[in-house]
Structure 1
Amino acid sequence: MKLISTTFALMLMASGVVFAADKHDHGHEDKPLYGGLVTEVKDVDYELVAKYDVLQLYVRNHGKPVDVSKATAKITLLSGSDKQEIDLKPSGDKLEAKGSFKVAPGTKVVAQVNLASKAATARFVLK
């Protein structure tokens, strides 16, 4: 009986270790580098900097900047019943749009990003 309970305890401990190791341990932190909000989609970090006159989207893969020179992105801002769609264009190391944007706290943002051979959808909620 003692052998069964010891085996069971070891199994529980091992499953806890596997679970803890799987909890987002990929060698880099998902922290903002430009003062924006960060979300991760398939090991790629998307950082959105949203201001009333500019939207910027930075893309990093395992902590390293991704070449966005041929990328395209479309941002959808959802605030209450208001919906605003904006195309972002490459601008140096980021995708960017300038204009007038409704970026109040609570605004939901959906970014559809097309990189060379990958497409991804990143979601944010503005604070």
Structure 2
Amino acid sequence: MKTYATIALGLALGTALAGCGQQGEAPKAEETAAMTDDAGTMAMPAETIHGKSTGTVTAIDIAKGQVTLDHGAIAELEWPPMTMGFAAKPELLKDIKVGDKVAFELDWDGKAGTITKLDKAL
């Protein structure tokens, strides 16, 4: 009985290893076109979008020109509330500290956001 189990295991292992040496096929032209069509439906802005919201400062790195905000929804970008980092000129950050409630405006290029206006909220 052990001999049959050993042979079966050896055959299964050999088949599995043989399959590992095979190369996959390149996608067919129609599959590639379908992938491209799907990517074309993603929301990728063709130009910079300007948005504004309010939030709370959770981190600041003046040397890197970076601020992290726990912000409310940004209607212009169709974003829900979230926490994320943005680039900002050091002069916009000089009077801001962690914990401050702020009103801000930003430009989004489809990859990164840059704060263009940042004021303490009243």
The TM-score normalised by the length of structure 2 is: 0.24
Greater fraction of residues in helix: 2
Which has the larger Rg? 2
Greater fraction of residues in strand: 1
Higher relative contact order (CA 8 A, sep 6+): 2
The TM-score normalised by the length of structure 1 is: 0.23
